[in-house]
């Protein structure tokens, strides 16, 4: 039973339902979505400032917020499709760590592209797509080569998105995927060396 995958799915559903029922969804998005230029501003002030703490909270909270039911359903289906496979491949604890780390890296990668290339660092980012892309990265590192085709599609759409008004953060998907894949490979290498040392 992929308990972490199920728990993450339920948590995302509960947060959206709460926002819709309480009519506070727009406020939640404003208060907890990630905005790249706030990170730049916070870094220019101090790493221990209140604004920097707010940015750190947003980096994590943004991956549990969705704009609407359609946005949530798409991400939950993607999580359900490969989440169980990925969780069984690396173990629940490592899976949760990679999921959260990929979500953060995806947001930071999106922020870097938005700030230094596209010049729209004020755009707010929400959704679990970056973290779920990390799950696909786990699958790719575990031997599911079809996940690489998905990455290629994200790169193509990221390029298209620079010339159009697509409201999807494809760069966050790319950053999350790469983070998930690399972290999985690193953790696998560490585990392999640990076992070799133990056998000796």
Task: Tell which residue, 187, 184, 61, 84, has the closest CA to residue 130.
Answer: 61
Cα 76 from Cα 70, distance rounded (Å): 10
Cα 118 from Cα 116, distance rounded (Å): 6
173 carries an active-site annotation: yes
Q: Which of 89, 121, 129, 133 is catalytic?
A: 129
Encoded tokens for 18: 């709460």
Cα 34 from Cα 65, distance rounded (Å): 10
Distant-in-sequence contacts of 108-112, Cβ < 8 A, 24+ apart: 108/39, 108/59, 108/175, 109/171, 109/172, 109/174, 109/175, 109/176, 109/178, 110/36, 110/169, 110/171, 110/172, 110/175, 111/34, 111/36, 111/39, 112/36
Other C-beta atoms lying within 10 Å of the C-beta of residue 91: 13
Task: Give me the active site residues, please.
Answer: 129, 173
């Amino acid at each position: 039973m992929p308990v972490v995958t199920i728990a993450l799915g339920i948590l995302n559903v509960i947060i959206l339902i709460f926002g819709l029922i309480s009519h506070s969804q727009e406020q939640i998005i404003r208060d907890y979505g990630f905005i790249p230029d706030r990170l730049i501003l916070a870094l220019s002030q101090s790493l221990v400032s209140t604004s920097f703490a707010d940015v750190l909270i947003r980096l994590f909270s943004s991956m549990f917020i969705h704009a609407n039911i359609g946005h949530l359903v798409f991400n939950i289906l993607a999580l359900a499709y490969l989440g169980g496979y990925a969780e069984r491949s690396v173990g629940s604890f490592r899976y949760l760590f990679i999921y959260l780390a990929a979500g953060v890296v995806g947001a930071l990668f999106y922020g870097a592209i938005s700030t230094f290339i596209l010049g729209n660092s004020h755009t707010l980012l929400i959704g679990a797509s970056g973290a779920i892309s990390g799950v696909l990265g786990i699958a790719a590192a575990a031997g599911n080569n079809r996940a690489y085709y998905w990455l290629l599609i994200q790169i193509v759409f990221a390029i298209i998105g620079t010339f159009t008004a697509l409201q999807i953060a494809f760069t966050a998907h790319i950053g999350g995927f790469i983070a998930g894949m690399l972290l999985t490979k690193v953790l696998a290498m560490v585990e392999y060396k640990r076992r070799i040392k133990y056998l000796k």
